[in-house]
Amino acid sequence: MAELTYRQAIAAGIAQEMGRDPSVVLLGEDVGAAAGVFKTYSGLYKQFGPTRVRDTPISEEAIVGAAIGAAMTGLRPVADIMFADFLATCWDMVANQAAKTRYMLDGQVTLPLVIVTGNGGGLRFGAQHSQSLENWAMAVPGLKVVAPSTPADAFGLLAASIRDPDPVLFFGHKALYAVKASVPDGEHVEALGRAVIRREGKDVTLLALAAMVPRALAAAEVLAEHGIDATVVDLRTLVPLDTATIFEAVSRTGVAFTVEENPRLLGWGAEIASLIAEECFEALDAPVVRITAPHVPLPAAGVLEDSAIPSVERICATVLERCA
């Protein structure tokens, strides 16, 4: 087992796939010698050269447009969009072109395209560089949505995304880039659409994603001191969504909470709460509770940003209130 940071795991996952498949290419702003603004592509330019690791102009439309064309003509591009917020500038390319081409051409053309982007807050980057936008992508038919919480999953899920025949939005979380943990040696690929139970408990179920997973796990340890045993489910991918694991965990405890970094209105937890109500209603002891950011632009001021994003303290307080 190797010890890698989350950002190193992203580079390692891409390197694995570039090494095994010459059609895999990386393109984006400063992804070459500079290794990306967050240094998530360190070593790739030196290892694979400027033909396969290409710097682009400062244009998200150009990056995604070029990647779509490359995917349609036989390559497997990985396109870097520096901040998830910047998806807004190329959303037509993502939602109207990449997501729909295979469907509209009746499968005659596939789009094995991955868009890797820095998602989420907690680093004082302000409202235009801190949004958690995985729910945007979840709402568009034709896109797969991945948001790992650990270095091992960043590696394995990125490798699986590159091998997938459909366009995948891979939301790497900026606040996790420096987190270090074990990654399996040798070829490592994690299947898309499989959630993981990070902690088993009998009283309540916490459903979390990306940076909210370690917070949910920390909250579970605090809740245990209050006599509440929590299951923590790491969703890992929103599309495809592992409803089987969700329903099994919720049915076992009867009490469910979603822990979401995105703003409350139309967050991914709303869809999951709806599915739980439809499929697990008889097993529920109480309505599903969503722990989210408020429906406001994320503040840059530290104390305000910290109050907006679900914290360990807020998760615990919400669970304790419901259980009381």
For residues 140 and 201, membership in a common domain is answered with no
Q: Report the pLDDT value the prediction gives residue 247, as an integer from 0 to 100.
A: 98
Cα(48)–Cα(300) distance, integer angstroms:
38
- For residue 32, being part of any structural domain is answered with yes
- For residue 191, being part of any structural domain is answered with no
For residues 132 and 167, membership in a common domain is answered with yes
Q: Indicate whether 117 pLDDT > 90.
A: yes
For residues 213 and 105, membership in a common domain is answered with no
Please list, residue by residue across 300-320, b when 16 or more beta carbons sit within 10 angstroms of its beta carbon and e when fewer do.
Answer: beeeebeebbbebebbbebbe
Q: Indicate whether 324 pLDDT > 90.
A: no
Cα(3)–Cα(293) distance, integer angstroms:
32
Q: Using pLDDT thresholds of 50, 70 and 90, give the confidence band for residue 1.
A: confident
pTM: 0.97
Q: Indicate if the alpha-carbon torsion angle 82, 87, 90, 93 is positive or negative.
A: positive
Q: Report the pLDDT value the prediction gives residue 128, as an integer from 0 to 100.
A: 96
Q: What is the pLDDT of residues 124-138, one digit of tens each?
A: 999 999 999 999 999
- 270, 133, 79, 69: CA torsion to nearest 10: 60
* Domain final position from 139, 162, 183: 183
Give all strands (DSSP E) within the chain, no chain letters: 2-5, 24-28, 53-55, 76-83, 114-119, 144-146, 168-173, 180-183, 196-199, 204-208, 230-234, 237-239, 256-263, 289-293
Instruction: Count how many Cα atoms sit within 13 Å of the Cα of residue 28 in the half-sphere of its side chain.
Output: 27
Question: Average pLDDT, stretch 229-240?
Answer: 98
Q: Report the pLDDT value the prediction gives residue 243, as an integer from 0 to 100.
A: 98
Tell me how many degrees the CA angle 283-288-292 measures, rounded to the nearest 5: 155
Q: Tokens standing for 91?
A: 């959303």
For residue 129, indicate whether it is catalytic.
Answer: yes
Question: Average pLDDT, stretch 78-82?
Answer: 98
Q: Report the CATH number that the domain containing residue 259 is assigned in CATH.
A: 3.40.50.920
* Domain final position from 183, 218, 238: 183
Number of domain units in the chain:
2
For residues 143 and 109, membership in a common domain is answered with yes
Q: Report the pLDDT value the prediction gives residue 116, as an integer from 0 to 100.
A: 98
Identify whether 240 is preceded by a cis peptide bond (ω within 30 of 0). Answer: yes
Q: Indicate whether 109 pLDDT > 90.
A: yes
Q: Report the CATH number that the domain containing residue 78 is assigned in CATH.
A: 3.40.50.970
Burial class (CB in 10 A: 0-12, 13-18, 19+), 279: middle
- Number of Cβ within 10 Å of residue 164's Cβ equals 18
**Choosing from 129, 173, 226, 295, which is the catalytic residue?**
129
Q: Which residues pair with 266 in a beta bridge?
A: none
For residues 254 and 299, membership in a common domain is answered with yes
Give all strands (DSSP E) within 6-141, no chain letters: 24-28, 53-55, 76-83, 114-119
For residues 8 and 109, membership in a common domain is answered with yes
* Domain final position from 139, 158, 183: 183
Q: What is the pLDDT of residues 12-42, one digit of tens each?
A: 999 999 999 999 999 999 999 999 999 999 9
Query: Which residues constitute the domain of residue 101?
Result: 2-183
For residues 148 and 225, membership in a common domain is answered with no
Residue 168, classed as helix, strand or coil, is strand
For residues 17 and 160, membership in a common domain is answered with yes
Average pLDDT score over the chain: 97
Cα(79)–Cα(77) distance, integer angstroms:
6
Q: What is the pLDDT of residues 152-208, one digit of tens each?
A: 999 999 999 999 999 999 999 999 999 999 999 999 999 999 999 999 999 999 999
